[in-house]
């Protein structure tokens, strides 16, 4: 088991590293050339800047049993299809019961934007989201260890 992170603009990288260190789990941070990460613990994979290049690199390296940290519903769906467990930076655990709804919402939002409409952007991050993410990630790691 590893923790793979869609690390471009990920607000919980420090939490991922803290939990991973506590459980001695390896971490792979995937970024494009516009970002730099050096946390002293994680392996960092830097890919060319391009549409979905980080997402594709992350999906290609995902294996069954991994935990994938991403806010991208497409990446979450790919992770699920490989037997991994995706979790959002807000602590929401994606699964086969909820991924279709998320993908449909993404489709509808894209349709609105392509038609010239506006959709709401991300809300300001709250401390409770960090706490919820850390709790969710810790539970996923413990559950994986118990299996």
Assign a CATH topology to domain 2-146.
Rossmann fold (3.40.50)
**Amino acid 59: pLDDT:** 93
**Amino acid 35: pLDDT:** 85
| Structure tokens that stand for 3 in this block | 């923790």
Alpha carbons 111 and 117: distance in angstroms, whole number = 9
Among residues 26, 25, 20, 62, which one has the least CA distance to residue 43?
A: 26
Q: Sheet containing 67-69: give its strands across.
A: 43-47, 26-32, 2-6, 67-69, 85-87
Alpha carbons 107 and 48: distance in angstroms, whole number = 26
Domain ranges within the chain, ordered by starting residue: 2-146
**Amino acid 27: pLDDT:** 98
The backbone torsions φ and ψ at residue 15, rounded to the nearest 5 degrees and listed phi first, read -65, -40
Angle in degrees, 0-180, between the axes of helices 73-81 and 99-114, rounded to the nearest 10:
150
Q: How far apart are the first and last CA of the chain?
A: 11
Handedness of CA 62, 86, 29, 147 (dihedral sign): negative
Angle in degrees, 0-180, between the axes of helices 73-81 and 53-61, rounded to the nearest 10:
20
Give the mean pLDDT per block of 10 residues along the chain (147 residues). Answer: 93 97 97 90 93 92 97 90 95 82 63 73 82 96 85
């Amino acid at each position: 088991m590893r923790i793979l992170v869609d690390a471009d603009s990920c607000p919980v990288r420090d939490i991922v590293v803290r939990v991973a260190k506590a459980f001695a789990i390896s971490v792979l941070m995937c970024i494009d050339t516009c970002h730099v990460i050096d946390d002293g613990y994680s392996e960092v994979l830097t890919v060319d800047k391009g549409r979905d290049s980080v997402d594709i690199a992350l999906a290609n390296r995902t294996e069954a049993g991994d935990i994938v940290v991403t806010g991208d519903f497409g990446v979450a769906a790919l992770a699920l299809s490989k037997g991994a467990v995706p979790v959002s930076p807000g602590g929401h655990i994606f699964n086969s019961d909820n991924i279709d709804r998320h993908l449909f919402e993404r489709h509808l939002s894209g349709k609105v934007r392509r038609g010239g409409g506006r959709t709401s952007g991300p809300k300001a991050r709250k401390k409770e989201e960090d706490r919820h993410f850390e709790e969710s990630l810790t539970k996923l790691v413990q559950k994986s260890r118990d299996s």
